[in-house]
Structure 1
Amino acid sequence: MSQKILLVDDERMITEVLEAYLRKDGFEVVTSDNGVDALRKADSVKPDLIVLDLMLPDISGEDICRLLRKESDVPILMLTAKSGEEEKISGIMMGADDYVTKPFSPREVIVRIQAILRRSKRAAPAVQTNQLSFNNHELVIDLYKKEVAAHGNSISVTPIEYRLLSNMAKNPGRVYSRMDLLDKIQEDGFAYEGYERSIDTHIKNLRKKIECDAREPKYILTVFGMGYKFGGAPDAENAAF
Structure 2
Amino acid sequence: MPNSEKILVVEDEATISRILSTVLTANGYQVLNAENGQQALSMASSHCPDLILLDLGLPGMDGIEVIRRLREWSGTPILVVSARDQEEEKVRAFDLGADDYITKPFGTSELLARIRAARRHANQVAAERAMVSSYYEFQDFRIDFERRCVTIAGKEIHLTQNEYKIVERLARQPGRVLTYTTLLHDIWGPYKGEDNQILRVNMANIRRKLEANPAEPHYILTENGVGYRMADSE
- Normalising by structure 1, we get a TM-score of 0.55
1:119 aligns with 121
Larger radius of gyration: 1
1:60 aligns with 62
1:191 aligns with none
Contact (CA 8 Å) 1:76, 1:98: kept in 2 or not? Answer: yes
1:143 aligns with 142
1:79 paired to 2:81: yes
Distance 1:32 1:150 in 2: 46
Residues 109 and 150 of structure 1: CA distance in aligned 2, closer, same or farther (over 3 Å) = closer
- Identity of matched residues, %: 39
Distance 2:7 2:31 in 1: 5
Distance 1:50 1:35 in 2: 12
Distance 2:67 2:156 in 1: 49
Deviation, structure 1 residue 146: 8.1
1:178 aligns with none
Distance 2:82 2:114 in 1: 15
Contact (CA 8 Å) 1:17, 1:106: kept in 2 or not? Answer: no
Letter matched to residue 49 of structure 2: P
2:185 aligns with none
1:50 aligns with 52
Residues 7 and 151 of structure 1: CA distance in aligned 2, closer, same or farther (over 3 Å) = closer
SS of the residue 1:7 aligns to: strand
Deviation, structure 1 residue 107: 2.4
SS of the residue 2:130 aligns to: coil
SS of the residue 1:6 aligns to: strand
Q: Report the count of equivalent residues.
A: 143
SS of the residue 2:12 aligns to: coil
- 1:80-229 matches, within 5 Å, as 80-124=82-126, 125-126=129-130, 128=134, 130=136, 142-144=141-143, 147-150=152-155
Residues 50 and 147 of structure 1: CA distance in aligned 2, closer, same or farther (over 3 Å) = same
2:29 to 27, 45, 55: 27
Residues 150 and 70 of structure 1: CA distance in aligned 2, closer, same or farther (over 3 Å) = closer
Residues 151 and 108 of structure 1: CA distance in aligned 2, closer, same or farther (over 3 Å) = closer
Residues 151 and 65 of structure 1: CA distance in aligned 2, closer, same or farther (over 3 Å) = closer
SS of the residue 1:23 aligns to: helix
SS of the residue 2:101 aligns to: strand
- Normalising by structure 2, we get a TM-score of 0.56
1:7 aligns with 9
SS of the residue 1:10 aligns to: coil
Letter matched to residue 82 of structure 1: R
Stretches of structure 1 lacking an aligned partner (at least 5 in a row): 132-140, 153-241
Which 4+ runs in 1 deviate beyond 2 A? 125-131, 141-147, 149-152
1:158 aligns with none
Letter matched to residue 72 of structure 1: S
Distance 1:92 1:150 in 2: 45
Residues 85 and 143 of structure 1: CA distance in aligned 2, closer, same or farther (over 3 Å) = same
SS of the residue 1:143 aligns to: strand
What's the CA shift string for 1:4-61, capped at 9, x where partnerless?
Answer: 1000000111111111111111111101111111111000000011001001112110
Stretches of structure 2 lacking an aligned partner (at least 5 in a row): 144-149, 158-234
